[in-house]
Amino acid sequence: MQVAVKSTFRSNERDARSSSPGVADRGALTSRVGPNTLIQTVAALRERMGPGWAIHLSARAGLPDPLPRDMVEEHFFARLVKVLFEELETEDAEGILAASGVGTGRYVLRHRIPGFVRLGLRLLPARLSLRVLLSAIRRHAWTFAGSSDFTARMTPDGAEFTLAPSLVCVTAQAGRPMGDYYARAVETLVRALVSSKARVTEEACTATGAERCRFRIVLAPLPSHATKDVPTEDTCASS
């Protein structure tokens, strides 16, 4: 079951073959990320701030027009994050990136994971399902992590993953954890496929001096004082 599920978790295989960064590319600005980093962030920007801001900040970031549908060089995403934090209130920039993460997770659910795989993951025991999902995320991590080094492991209460350096967090430089884009994207997947009560929180961040951004995935709800509140609409319906 595990092999079947892992082998059918689709990335954009054509792009993966042509653009997957090798070891030599790690850390270089030529690394690529999925187009959803731009598409979902601009959509969230338009939704939250209006089309005028979306046009203005897209131009300031030098984004291609129209936005590409194939893998994009990660510096475009870094530029977009930079201008978000330069021109908007920090809370607005954070909210846009969090919404972009949810949008990215929903896109992956609808377009990159076949229906029978979604069903299989939901039928498995939660920890086994999380292990399989985490393995798939690890294999495709470069599509959202770009040149960042990605690690993931199971823990007694769920799992954790790390990014170093996280493109968003090193770019935002806002003095507090900034990895909501990644947390909400993974949380959307885990809630839809493993446990609707799962939560993902960033517990260490390069924006506050940590060597790696570390994200904790908890399958059971944490005490309310231990995490930030997350809007209920983050719970993603199956597609």
- What does the binding site for Zn ion look like in residue numbers (CB under 5 A)? 166, 169, 179, 205, 213
Instruction: Compare residues 19 and 148 and give the one whose CB is closer to Zn ion.
Output: 148
Residue by residue, DSSP assigns 143-164 as HHHTTSEEEEEEETTEEEEEEE
Q: Identify the three-state secondary structure at position 176.
A: coil
Q: Which is nearer to Zn ion, 112 or 212 (CB)?
A: 212
Select from 109, 87, 107 the least CA-distant residue to 99: 107
Q: How far is the CB of 203 from Zn ion (least distance, A)?
A: 10
Least Cβ distance, residue 42 to Zn ion (angstroms): 22
Phi then psi for 214, rounded to 5 degrees? -120, 125
C-alpha dihedral sign at 118, 120, 123, 129:
negative
Residue 115 or 175: which CB sits closer to Zn ion? Answer: 175
For Cα atoms 106, 198, 192, give the angle at the middle one, nearest 5 degrees.
Answer: 30
Please, what is the minimum distance in Å from the beta carbon of residue 223 to Zn ion? 23
Q: How far is the CB of 98 from Zn ion (least distance, A)?
A: 13
Closest approach, Cβ 72 to Zn ion, in A, equals 21
Please list, residue by residue across 33-45, b when 16 or more beta carbons sit within 10 angstroms of its beta carbon and e when fewer do. Answer: bbbbbbbbbbbbb
Name which of 44 and 205 has its Cβ closer to Zn ion. Answer: 205
Instruction: State which residue, 58 or 201, has the beta carbon closest to Zn ion.
Output: 201
User: How many whole angstroms separate alpha carbon 180 and alpha carbon 187?
Assistant: 10
The rounded distance, in Å, linking the Cα atoms of 191 and 164 is 25
Which is closer to Zn ion, CB of 87 or CB of 203? 203
Q: Give the DSSP H or E segment for 66.
A: none
CB of residue 121 to Zn ion, shortest distance in Å? 27
Q: Which helix (H) or strand (E) holds 5?
A: helix 2-7
